[in-house]
Structure 1
Amino acid sequence: MIDDTAWSGGHGGVGDYFALLKPRVMSLVIFTALVGIVLAPGGIHPVLAATALLCIAIGAGASGALNMWYDADIDRVMSRTRNRPIPAGRVTGDEALAFGLTLSGFSVLVLGLLVNWFAAAFLAFTIFFYVVIYTMWLKRSTPQNIVIGGAAGAFPPVVGWAAVTGSVSLEPLVLFLIIFMWTPPHFWALALFKSGDYEAANVPMMPVVAGERSTRTQILAYSLVLAPIGVLPWIMGFAGLAYGLVSAALGVAFVIFAYRVWAMRKGDAARKAAVRLFSFSILYLFLLFAMLLGEHLLIALISGPAR
């Protein structure tokens, strides 16, 4: 929860406000939302597609700014976050709050006016879910924070799909499910080698509350479930054979990395196994969505323009 010290300082530069947007997280949001837009049936004018993507990106950045506003107290404690703009004193809490709220309203309003209001409402719900449900409630109250809160990071391809179609169908929900099931092993791997930070900040991440052994077991369990879910786009027919083969191979690799985390339970080897899983998990998600995007664009190129 924010405290008075989070409101001191200020006079941040452009780079500090850009950092408030969590650009690394935003890049993943943009990429997965783009896949949702491209895969959606019916097509959309390129200008409207770019507008939708920009609004989704701004909405994600607004969520990041509001998250940093509320979490300034724990960001100050954790080694990986203490140099963020608010705890470092380069941006005040007031400034971050105003910045996040302004961007939130702008992104939702523009998406609704220029694209469609269903997608805008979905984006508004995504921002609300991340800021209120995850940041303000779940993060500090339950070790299941990442499991439930991970839904916020899984919504972008659904919002992208809704921007094109004005509705939601089974296909974007499968994309949602892939990201949703990927989130716990991804973040718990990070938490394993950063557990001291979370403990110092009083954040009930799984390794702090349930212990490392339980966390490693749950990482393996989620990975075993994630692997076949990653193949679902091919099984359901909205991805091709190339995607099916790559996703199956990546799923097996993910399980192997997770098994090594489970098997190596102590010392430096255990830490390295968690770091490797965390790094591979990023590559895993990127390659899955890159394959979906690449296959679709290749088919469109081969087929030529519609007549």
Structure 2
Amino acid sequence: MIKQLVNLFKLRIGFIMMLTALVAMAATPGRSVTLTEMIVLALTVLVAAASAGAFNQYYETDLDALMARTRNRPFVTGVLTKGPFWLMVINGLLFVSVAIAAVVLNGMAALYIFLGAFFYAVVYTVWLKRRTWMNIVIGGASGSFAVLAGAAAVDPVLTPVPIQLALVLFFWTPSHFWSLAIAQNKDYAAAGVPMLPAIAGNEYAAKVVLGNTLILVGISIMPYFYGMGWLYLLGAVSGGGYFLYRNLKMIQDAGRKNAMASFFASLIQLSLLLIGTVLDVLILS
């Protein structure tokens, strides 16, 4: 049952959002935050992301049943039964997380936490996913709001570095997800979901991924010119360089193997960027 709940709430995605929020909090200049504020930020971002992930699965049961990657999700298999109870749980988790963030952190941090969940659950899942290949581009702003929430917890008035890190997450999401979508092209085509590879082909999508990643890497270097140090730059350049390398390999052969390698490279790129940020703040600040 624990495994099913981890699946339902998409806790792996939530954990990434939580880490980006905490790193943004650390990278934002200003007052010192308390341990309580750090814990509250981490948990409220994680819980809000979990509620959005659960709603995504609740709403998309029909699509999930058509794809090999998702047909074992609990609402599809019947392990969990759709109904008012689960909608109450999902909405309740979001309400509680946003309310606690507003009380302990501030109103702007709470607003960004809410918008992160709203963009994933409503903008991406309900409005865009079945209608346009731009779904993951616009809906991907969900991750950016986690960064802004972390920064706003320190200072509601946003400064250049957290804004740039939010843009990094915005451009990271399409390259990350389209790499997976290339690997899962047949699934999305069978389900009728207009993901870019399903409507334009893997080869074209791979070229778009490379172009998007070039923008991503360019933006990821910018914080170095706004106060971040060489440790941050090292993480941004090394992770970005490896991601670009895997993108180029995917252009040469847009098969499943290279697409999954590109997908995992996106995780390495983000991890090195976050690690570089934390080390830069701890050692060079």
Residue in structure 2 matched with residue 303 of structure 1 by the alignment: none
Deviates most, 90-99 or 21-30: 90-99
Instruction: Rate the CA distance shift 1:38–1:29 in 2: closer, same or farther, 3 A.
Output: same
Instruction: Rate the CA distance shift 1:62–1:156 in 2: closer, same or farther, 3 A.
Output: same
Check if 1:293 corresponds to 2:283.
no
Residue 12 of structure 2 aligns with an amino acid whose one-letter code is R
Give the Cα separation in 1 of the matches to 2:262 and 2:146: 24
* Secondary structure at 1:93 match in 2: coil
Give the Cα separation in 2 of the matches to 1:289 and 1:14: 28
Instruction: Rate the CA distance shift 1:15–1:99 in 2: closer, same or farther, 3 A.
Output: farther
Residue 153 of structure 1 aligns with an amino acid whose one-letter code is G
Check if 1:243 corresponds to 2:232.
yes
Give the Cα separation in 2 of the matches to 1:57 and 1:162: 16
Larger Rg: 1
Candidates 240, 259, 268, aligned match of 1:283: 268
After superposition, the CA RMSD in angstroms is 1.5
CA shift, 1:15, in A, is 4.3
Residue 61 of structure 1 aligns with an amino acid whose one-letter code is A
TM-score with structure 1 length normalisation? 0.88
CA shift, 1:164, in A, is 1.9
1:78-106 deviation per Cα after TM superposition (whole angstroms, max 9, x unaligned) = 11111111111111222432221110111
CA shift, 1:214, in A, is 1.7
Residue 21 of structure 1 aligns with an amino acid whose one-letter code is F
Candidates 6, 9, 25, aligned match of 1:21: 9
Give the Cα separation in 2 of the matches to 1:171 and 1:299: 16
CA shift, 1:116, in A, is 1.1
Residue 244 of structure 1 aligns with an amino acid whose one-letter code is L
CA shift, 1:134, in A, is 0.7
Q: 8 Å contact 1:65–1:97 — kept in the other structure?
A: no
CA shift, 1:151, in A, is 0.6
Q: 8 Å contact 2:20–2:147 — kept in the other structure?
A: yes
Give the Cα separation in 1 of the matches to 2:78 and 2:13: 22
Residue in structure 1 matched with residue 61 of structure 2 by the alignment: 72
Give the Cα separation in 2 of the matches to 1:205 and 1:107: 31
Q: 8 Å contact 2:183–2:256 — kept in the other structure?
A: yes
Give the Cα separation in 1 of the matches to 2:144 and 2:124: 13
Residue in structure 2 matched with residue 209 of structure 1 by the alignment: 199
Give the Cα separation in 2 of the matches to 1:245 and 1:35: 16
Residue 50 of structure 1 aligns with an amino acid whose one-letter code is I
TM-score with structure 2 length normalisation? 0.94
Deviating above 6 A after TM superposition, structure 1's stretches of 4 or more consecutive aligned residues are none
CA shift, 1:169, in A, is 2.4
CA shift, 1:14, in A, is 4.7
Residue in structure 2 matched with residue 88 of structure 1 by the alignment: 77
CA shift, 1:279, in A, is 1.0
Map 1:30-109 → 2, pairs under 5 A: 30-40=18-28, 41-94=30-83, 95-109=85-99
* Secondary structure at 2:129 match in 1: helix
